[in-house]
Amino acid sequence: MLGGTVTLDRTTTIDGLLPEALRLDFPYLAQELNGHPLAYLDSGATAQRPRTVLDAERDYLERSNAAVHRGASTLVGTSTTAFEDARATVARFVGAGLREIVWAENATDAINIVALGMADAAAGLGGPEAAVFRLGEGDEIVVTEAEHHANLIPWQRLAAKTGATLRWIPVHDDGTWGIDDAASVIGERTRLVAFAHVSNVTGHLAPVADVAELAHRHGALVLLDACQSVPHRPTDFADLGVDFAAFSAHKMLGPTGIGVLYGREALLDALPPARTGGSTITTVTMESASFLPSPQRFEAGTQPVSQAVALAEAVRYLDALDMQRVHEHEGALAELLVDEVAGIPGIRLLGPAAGVERAALASVDVAGVHAHDVGQFLDSRGIAVRVGHHCAQPLHRRLGLRATTRASAYVYTTPDEIRRFAAALAEVRGFFGIDA
């Protein structure tokens, strides 16, 4: 039983994909949009939640809500157990140790925890163990030209604070890049390499393990933006060889307001905490403070407890589906997206070409029609997509664009929804009076 709603027969599929019955677990998907059945193709921004996740958070708030790690009452004990059990559930999901998972507000916040901690280390905080994080003139931080702003701006600021140089791996005309491109930039002066596992614009999959090996060969740390990978494919950070990683609950059937920072235990214990206060310390005097090991050293103040409980339930839901099966489902949808969209006149599809693996998302430029107008036309047909620069202005600028229209799929997306998207997309230019 999934979601307390539908028993899924793993031998029953739609076009060889996940069962249609799965959608019944998601109340949001039952509604209409502008008189049409909703086709929700914006999961790359925010995924919808199954009833089990909604119920888990509600049940916690109704029966177990209390301040974690504060006090000795039975209720505090129950709340703290639920909070730490959630951490253990998420840790197992991504191949991490219990002390390697830190709660953050979202992935953006998680990345900033590392960037701000490195800035503090460069300012002399953290003691000798923080030396691995200290940057200065002559050091280099490497990102890619395809990064989400959340994995670019923090490193711009860190470079400005420390005197380090920010460099980037260039992308090709389709928005992709490879290990040879990385090797042309990563070198002896590189101290940190930060990049996305999956591009939120192109669906391109980065060669993570190869880049991590290259970076470590030069003595650099590696931070992975895993927002578009952890929800969609089996992911083991230890196997990938990265030092840090970040992802968000709201992209993986979970709630907003909570994200995850993964870090190797020894590195987290050495990183100065970006935010300080209650629950992070061992000893405080009027002159100084000493901090707990990870993860508590980073979790100042009141924590997102009900959100952590809900995220753990989302992980259990995905585990029940089997992440390899989720990956296969989305792989088939990605192929269908490319097949349906690539042949439409006047449509430019960004990212990997047909036959090359990509995530189940597609960003397109419709010749002669602004992305916002494309989105409104699709909305009138009951199809919800994302429009704009997707928090990746440098990538759009490199590709000669200001905005695109993005369709992104997830576990509950059906082939019919992909076909509806493509059929409506084919009508856009005619609707706006542009000759094919």
Active site residues: 391
Angle between helices 153-162 and 107-122 (to 10 degrees): 10
Q: Which residue from 166, 146, 147, 148 is spatially nearest to 156, judged by alpha carbons?
A: 166
Spatial neighbors of 425 by CB under 8 A, at least 6 apart, are 341, 344, 347, 364, 366, 374, 378, 405
Strand partners, 405: 364, 387
Place of tokens 């089997």: 322
- Residue found by looking up tokens 């979970």 in the block: 254
Residue linked to tokens 């591009």 = 199
Distance CA 200, CA 214 (A): 24
**Within 10 Å of residue 435's Cβ, how many Cβ atoms?**
8
User: Distance between CA atoms of 48 and 200, rounded to whole angstroms?
Assistant: 17
The H or E element that residue 53 is part of is helix 51-63
Angle between helices 323-342 and 305-321 (to 10 degrees): 80
Where do we find the tokens 């163990």?
129
Which residue reads 């951490």 in tokens?
A: 87
Asked whether the beta carbons of 408 and 45 are under 8 A apart, the reply is: yes
For CA atoms 123, 129, 133, 136, the dihedral sign is positive
Contact predicate 308/258, CB 8 Å: yes
For 396, other C-beta atoms within 10 Å of its C-beta total 21
Q: Single out the residue of 17, 403, 337 nearest to residue 203, CA to CA.
A: 337
Task: Please give the Cα distance from 59 to 3 (Å, whole number).
Answer: 14
Q: Do 161 and 112 form a contact (C-beta atoms < 8 A)?
A: no
Judge contact between 260 and 249, C-beta under 8 A: yes
Tell me the C-alpha distance between 36 and 29, whole Å: 12
State the Cα–Cα distance between residues 57 and 51, nearest whole angstrom. 10
